[in-house]
Amino acid sequence: MLSLICEHRRFFLAATLAALVLRLFFFVYFPQITDDSRIYANLATTWLQHGIYGRMPGGSPTQPIMPTDARLPGYPAFLAAIFWLFGAGNYKAVLLAQILFDVGTCFIVADLARRTVSDRAAQIAFLLAALCPFLANYAAAELTETLEVFFTALALDGAAAALNRMNAGETALSLWAATGAAIAACILLRPDGGLVLVAVGIYLTFKAIAWRESPCPPNAKLAFISLIVVALFSLAPLVPWTIRNLRTLHHFQPLAPRYASDANELVALGFNRWAKTWIVDYVSVEEIYWNVSGDPIDASKLPLRSFDNPAQKDATLSAVADYNEGRDMTPEIDAQFGALAAERIAAHPVRYYIVLPVLRIADMWLRPRTEILPPDPRWWEFNDDAKHSVVAVGLGLLNLAYVGIALLAMIRRRSEIRWVGLLVGFVLLRSAFLGTLENPESRYTLECYPAIIVLASSLLAGKIKTNNAKKRVEEVPAKFIS
């Protein structure tokens, strides 16, 4: 990769500057500190100042610290390091550090394209990543996305490098160890980071089957050894975390709770299951799902698909009214929603287990990705500032371009992409997992963007190659053709 950068240093310098300008634009005009950001900052500050991984209730130092396992320690550790260097609560330093990580992601994605496609594709991938507003947007938000994308790209790049070395007859165990370390970082940032390990594991298993007749590397034995190395390095950092949870919180928790809840916190399983019987879009997440607990539910915003008949509608409105009375999800109210969920699932199991997950996946992939930008969630109604809706439409079309070009590459250039099964397998696996969530948020697909960009770069590189070849033919004098 270094030789490619040196050979095209003007291109990479200009593209890097463009990447920085785009990310600084979001940093200046659209920095985002969300409720989740404050939770992570609370954990980081408490850990840094008191040596306890826990939260100060309400952020008050006068109240006892509550140890927690609701969030994995990866991102709080990153924040603690930034706060230690630049001062507690220095969010600007956090966002600037994330911008540097995101620019680093551009180089990693380019290297992944170089290893799997070509040098020309690497340049295109770098430009696509550098100018991607969706990656740049989250670099200016104090959330896990930027680091998660960085380490996901690093893990995929490490796996591609290891596979290339194995294909050349070498063992590549050191590269597999590095890949495992990158996956470990993904997992410590968010539990779903483990999907990278699953994707790599499945791919290596299939390769082991394909190589089972080979007497020399790559062979089945080497593939299984590589898989063990990746798994060990990926999961080893979870051992001290699991021991800490056993000793401090007295329960076995190797990752984090499904709903990021503390031990004494009610998890509204009935409500969540009911939500999964009808939610298919981000709008419902913001208008209904996130309101529980604490804010009222506006029953008028419930879509028609949230009840199947008049009796079910009455029962739903009754449960909503009971919740709104105290704005607290009690076990009794949660049971009401749970009963509604059971009734709806029993009546329409195909809808619950297949149709709705597919629609949620489609919404996460195809929305304009403006959830932390000014456009209204209902941007298509043009009820807000018209220019915000226009921006949303533009970002939606751009997102479709990224995804659409990647899909075309799978149709036309799949045979030219090395280890394409790893990239596509990861995207499909993550998409399938996201369909099981009741809160479809477009940001959850960002981890797939390194693979999407590499696939798109393969098609664009092929187009450029074909056009250049046609141009050279047209320039040949007729006497040389005859």
Average pLDDT, the chain: 90
Contact 79, 40 (CB under 8 A): yes
Contact 191, 444 (CB under 8 A): no
Q: Which residues pair with 67 in a beta bridge?
A: 54
Angle (CA) 195 148 192, round 5°: 30
Q: Which residues pair with 141 in a beta bridge?
A: 32
170 pLDDT exceeds 90? no
Show the beta-strand stretches assigned E in 42-195: 54-55, 66-67
DSSP 458: H
DSSP 224: H
Q: Which burial class, exposed, middle or buried, applies to 478 when counting CB atoms under 10 A from its CB (0-12, 13-18, 19+)? A: exposed
Model confidence over 26-68: pLDDT tens digits?
A: 999 999 998 899 999 999 999 998 899 988 876 556 678 889 9
- Reference 71, options 204, 225, 201, 187; nearest CA is 187
Q: Within 13 Å of residue 197, how many CA atoms lie on the same side as its CB?
A: 26
Model confidence over 263-310: pLDDT tens digits?
A: 778 889 999 999 999 999 999 999 999 998 889 999 999 999 999 999
Alpha helices in 250-309 (DSSP H): 269-275, 282-287
Which residues contact residue 165 at a Cβ distance below 8 angstroms, ignoring those fewer than 6 apart? Answer: 171, 172, 175
382 pLDDT exceeds 90? no
Q: Within 13 Å of residue 481, how many CA atoms lie on the same side as its CB?
A: 7
Least confident of 8-17, 221-230, 387-396: 387-396
Supply the pLDDT for residue 381. 76
- How far is 117 from 179, CA to CA, in rounded Å? 20
Supply the pLDDT for residue 60. 57
Alpha helices in 327-419 (DSSP H): 331-347, 349-350, 356-366, 386-412
The pair of three-digit structure tokens given for residue 94, joined into one six-digit string = 């956090």
Please report, as a single letter, which amino acid is at residue 305: R
Task: Centre a 10 Å sphere on the Cβ of residue 131 and count the other Cβ atoms it contains.
Answer: 16
- How far is 134 from 256, CA to CA, in rounded Å? 27
The pair of three-digit structure tokens given for residue 468, joined into one six-digit string = 């250049």
| Average pLDDT of the segment spanning 380-385 | 74
- How far is 152 from 189, CA to CA, in rounded Å? 11
Which of 23-32, 253-262, 382-391, 415-424 has maximum average pLDDT? 23-32
Tell me the longest C-alpha to C-alpha distance in the chain. 90
Torsion of CA 92, 97, 102, 103, to 10 degrees: 110
Task: Centre a 10 Å sphere on the Cβ of residue 57 and count the other Cβ atoms it contains.
Answer: 12
* Block residue for tokens 């005859």: 482
Q: How many residues does the chain have?
A: 482
Supply the pLDDT for residue 481. 45
Output 122 or 388, whichever has higher pLDDT.
Answer: 122
Alpha helices in 413-445 (DSSP H): 420-434
Instruction: Give the pTM.
Output: 0.91
Contact 121, 113 (CB under 8 A): yes
* Block residue for tokens 């890949």: 179
Least confident of 54-63, 170-179, 437-446, 470-479: 470-479
